[in-house]
Amino acid sequence: MFIVLQGAVTPAIRSVMPSEVVSDTTSASVKITGSNFDSQATVQYDEATISVTYVDSTTFTTTLGVSQLRSGVHSFRVVNPGPTPSNAASFLVDYPIPAISSLTPTVAPAGTQVSVSIGGSGFVPSSKVLMNGIQLASTYVSSTSMTATASSSTTGPQAFNVSNPSPGGGLTNTVTIDFEVTNVVNPVNPCGVMVSGAVTVLADATDDVGVVGVQFKLDGANFGPELTAAPYSMTWNTTTATNGCHVLAAVARDAAGNQGTSSLTASVNHP
């Protein structure tokens, strides 16, 4: 009489077909082949047991859903009843190859930060926006849209790409933004003295006959009443004025009806 101890057999995976798919696949039928597969065995995908069909001691089949097809490197294992699972077999879900179809703006001032909108396809949350090969601060909006902040002190066309990680992935086509030098009006004194808040306007008027009145004008219209005695001054509340250039004038008259005018241009620039 003989006593035979039948131990659990360790399974082995030889291949996974296909071994690689792209991430925009909605489902994937997979065949796992190897040896010593038990009819009571389970199959793990990324260490989680999944639904499979046992074909024979060399084959399992399964269908992966979209939630299981996230980009990256995944693994299968076959687990027979017993302590030792099979080797891990890799299964790649490739990142898509991105492409740029639009870039806004196409022209920007050199030396100034600009917000860039990128349209295209194949963008993923881990996509990177590059300008001349250097990564920019960017935001993933959707698979067709990203935004970034860019600045270049170098004038001329600057190259933009979007890069997806591996597996798969890669670099988009190159699209450019032309950074140009722009002529900027001097913001300190664009059309005369710059004023803000409450401003005192003064006039000094003299005449050999005698000054009988000084009338201030703002942009051609009377500004306050005529002043008949020195000092000739008015307060201008510039917060009520529109941004831009304004003409202040003082018109002095004497008893003989003679007039003299003096004017200046002031710039109002509210924040």
| CA atoms within 13 Å, Cβ hemisphere of 63 | 3
Per-residue confidence (pLDDT) for residue 190, from 0 to 100: 54
Position of tokens 């003096």? 262
Structure tokens at 41: 């065995």
Per-residue confidence (pLDDT) for residue 186, from 0 to 100: 44
Q: Which residues of the chain have pLDDT under 50?
A: 1-6, 183-189
Structure tokens at 183: 């002529």
For 99-180, CATH gives 2.60.40.10
Per-residue confidence (pLDDT) for residue 127, from 0 to 100: 95
> Which amino acid is located at 58 in the chain?
T
Taking only the tens place, the pLDDT of each residue in 21-46 is 988 778 999 999 999 999 999 999 99
Record: fold of 12-94:
Immunoglobulin-like (2.60.40)
Tell me how far apart the alpha carbons of residues 254 and 246 are, in angstroms, rounded to a whole number.
27
ω into residue 81 within 30 of 0, thus cis? no
Tell me how far apart the alpha carbons of residues 244 and 219 are, in angstroms, rounded to a whole number.
12
Per-residue confidence (pLDDT) for residue 184, from 0 to 100: 42
Per-residue confidence (pLDDT) for residue 59, from 0 to 100: 97
Question: Is-same-fold flag (99-180; 193-268)?
Answer: yes
Per-residue confidence (pLDDT) for residue 247, from 0 to 100: 87
The overall pTM is greater than 0.75 = no
Per-residue confidence (pLDDT) for residue 74, from 0 to 100: 96
Domain positions in the chain are 12-94, 99-180, 193-268
Assign domain 193-268 one CATH number from 3.10.180.10, 2.90.10.10, 2.60.40.10, 3.30.2000.10.
2.60.40.10
Hey, which residues does 268 pair with through a beta bridge?
A: 195, 244
Tell me how far apart the alpha carbons of residues 155 and 121 are, in angstroms, rounded to a whole number.
29
